[in-house]
Amino acid sequence: MQLSDTTPSNVALVGVGTVGAGVARLLTEQADRLARHAGRPLRLTRAVVRDVARPREVKLADGVLTDDLASVTGDESIRTVVQLVGGLEPARSIMLELLEAGKDVVTANKALLAEHGPELFDRARELGRSIAFEASVAGGIPIITNIAQCLSANEIQSLHGILNGTCNFILTEMEEQETDYATAVAEAQRLGYAEADPTLDVDGSDAAQKLAILAHLAFGARVAWHEIPREGVERIEPLDIHFAAELGYRIKLLAVAELMSEGLELYVSPQLVRRDAPLAEVHGAYNAVRVVGDAVGRVWFHGLGAGQMPTASAVVADLIDTVVGRSAITFRTLELWSQRPPRVSPRDHQQVESRYYFRFSVKDDSGVLAEIASVLGRFDVSIASVIQHETGEEGSDSVPIVLMTHKTTEGAAQRATAAIDQLDAVRSTSVRMRVAD
């Protein structure tokens, strides 16, 4: 039997930024390795960029670099295209043009999929083409293939992901270097882990976009990413990191999807994770996903969530899957933006239950704790433990009170803390975080 074919498969690249250069490097420098896995050589025929004159960190063969997309769409020998243009436009138009031209597409553009996934997937299905997108979520961790293929015997019951490396780096930095939020953000920017404007990372939007993709894939949900309730890490203070540690926890920004009989709970929020739990051992720019399936039980995946070569690793795996024909098979049966009716509805976020960590900044006065406890009691929020140290900060008349609650609903927790924030003895807005199971 023939083990390999020597006819190369022509592939093209659209967009040669950081990840694109990494993909080009693997295609040109590791050709033998890729040919082994693809059963035939992969030949990078075209790399389309806006400005061919700009210097690139990767050396391409003469004639490969071009600014003419038509040299790809018009070339029938090119069947597979890696599309790495960021943002929404012209990324969307290019993707549609490639599909119309009969190309199977590989992309890492999570924002594009989160925003225009239904349109792009519908069109690909109509045209009998495939879209592969492993690199769009969790960088080097092959979470898409694991959910769509490896765990296909399971009903997925929950997903807990650390999906934003910027936030995880910031939280790790605040804990390990004992710095405040602003200093940690500056360090993340200096090291290239955060953009000049990190808003979409730190406010939870990026994680919500990734969660939307995973939740569609795993649960057949139909939720737009911007409808996912989300909180970011901007309000976390060193004090919270300390109290969490004192209680045996670390703070992590978690993206959560959990199937309950009342519907699918979906949200992004900072949470206290027990220090001995695998998700608590995810440091710096790493990402991780914990999946619970009804047959497999708990499975964890943990790796680099971003960066040139980890992302290129995922893109090239998709490229090989597409060239050998696995992507076409998988794409046909994906739950993601399929035309099937949704299998689950989201649960009312106010009803989502959790234990909570509350921190109040209060006047250093006996009796305040009793006042707070009485408000909590009114909202049926029951206290599990309290930390109130003897003295507050020097030169300040306010002291922190930290409470851990028993299970309560998001709605009750919101209403109770809003009421407590109105008390005369309370100095500033309370901090409220979920405690992970």
Report the catalytic residues: 210
Task: Give yes or no for residue 378 binding its own copies (CB under 8 A).
Answer: no
Task: Give yes or no for residue 310 binding its own copies (CB under 8 A).
Answer: yes
Structure tokens at 11: 């592939």
Segment 57 to 116, residues that bind its own copies, using CB under 8 A: none
Beta carbon of residue 171, minimum distance to its own copies (angstroms, whole number) = 16
Structure tokens at 178: 């004992």
The residue count for binding its own copies (CB under 8 A) is 66
d(CA 245, CA 250): 6
- The DSSP secondary structure of 268-312, one letter per residue, reads EEEEEEETTSGGGG--TTEEEEEEEETTTEEEEEEEE-SSHHHHH
Beta carbon of residue 145, minimum distance to its own copies (angstroms, whole number) = 5
Segment 124 to 143, residues that bind its own copies, using CB under 8 A: 125-126, 128, 134, 140-142
CA 228 to each of CA 182, 214, 251, 263, 396: distance values in angstroms, whole numbers, following the listed order: 26, 13, 20, 14, 39
Of positions 88, 324, 383, 423, contacts its own copies by CB under 8 A:
324
Closest to its own copies by CB, 115 vs 321, is 321
Closest to its own copies by CB, 30 vs 199, is 30
Beta carbon of residue 36, minimum distance to its own copies (angstroms, whole number) = 7
How buried is 149 (Cβ within 10 angstroms: 0-12 exposed, 13-18 middle, 19+ buried)?
Answer: middle
Task: Give yes or no for residue 303 binding its own copies (CB under 8 A).
Answer: yes
Of positions 17, 74, 248, 325, contacts its own copies by CB under 8 A:
325
Task: Give yes or no for residue 326 binding its own copies (CB under 8 A).
Answer: yes
* C-beta separation of 30 from 10 below 8 A: no
Q: What are phi and psi of 178, to 5 degrees?
A: 50, 45
d(CA 275, CA 290): 15
Task: Give yes or no for residue 260 binding its own copies (CB under 8 A).
Answer: no
> How are beta strands 9-14 and 42-48 bridged, if at all?
parallel
Beta carbon of residue 121, minimum distance to its own copies (angstroms, whole number) = 11
Q: Which stretch binds its own copies (CB under 8 A): 10-18, 290-298, 361-369, 370-378?
A: 290-298
Beta carbon of residue 272, minimum distance to its own copies (angstroms, whole number) = 17
Closest to its own copies by CB, 54 vs 340, is 340
Task: Give yes or no for residue 304 binding its own copies (CB under 8 A).
Answer: yes
- The DSSP secondary structure of 350-362, one letter per residue, reads GG-EEEEEEEEEE
Q: Which stretch binds its own copies (CB under 8 A): 97-105, 203-211, 261-269, 335-343?
A: 335-343
Task: Give yes or no for residue 339 binding its own copies (CB under 8 A).
Answer: yes
d(CA 135, CA 244): 33
Note the Cα 34 to chain centre separation in Å. Answer: 28
Among 61, 55, 76, 65, which Cα is nearest to 15's?
65
Structure tokens at 184: 């940690």
Note the Cα 48 to chain centre separation in Å. Answer: 28
Q: Which stretch binds its own copies (CB under 8 A): 44-52, 179-187, 338-346, 370-378?
A: 338-346
Task: Give yes or no for residue 361 binding its own copies (CB under 8 A).
Answer: no
Q: Which stretch binds its own copies (CB under 8 A): 73-81, 148-156, 187-195, 386-394?
A: 148-156
Beta carbon of residue 332, minimum distance to its own copies (angstroms, whole number) = 6
Task: Give yes or no for residue 158 binding its own copies (CB under 8 A).
Answer: no
d(CA 72, CA 42): 15
Closest to its own copies by CB, 38 vs 202, is 38
Segment 15 to 54, residues that bind its own copies, using CB under 8 A: 22, 26, 30, 33-34, 36-39
Closest to its own copies by CB, 117 vs 400, is 117
Residues 6+ apart with CB under 8 A from 305: 138, 139, 140, 141, 162, 163, 164, 165, 168, 285, 286, 287
Task: Give yes or no for residue 191 binding its own copies (CB under 8 A).
Answer: no
Task: List strand residue ranges (DSSP E) for 4-154, in order.
Answer: 9-14, 42-48, 65-66, 78-83, 104-107, 131-132
d(CA 160, CA 434): 13
Which value, in Å, is the radius of gyration of the alpha carbons in the chain?
24
Helix, strand or coil, per DSSP, at residue 94 = helix
Q: Which residues bind its own copies (CB under 8 A)?
A: 1, 3-4, 22, 26, 30, 33-34, 36-39, 125-126, 128, 134, 140-142, 145-146, 149-155, 276-278, 281, 293-304, 307, 309-310, 312-317, 320-321, 324-326, 329-330, 332-333, 335, 338-340
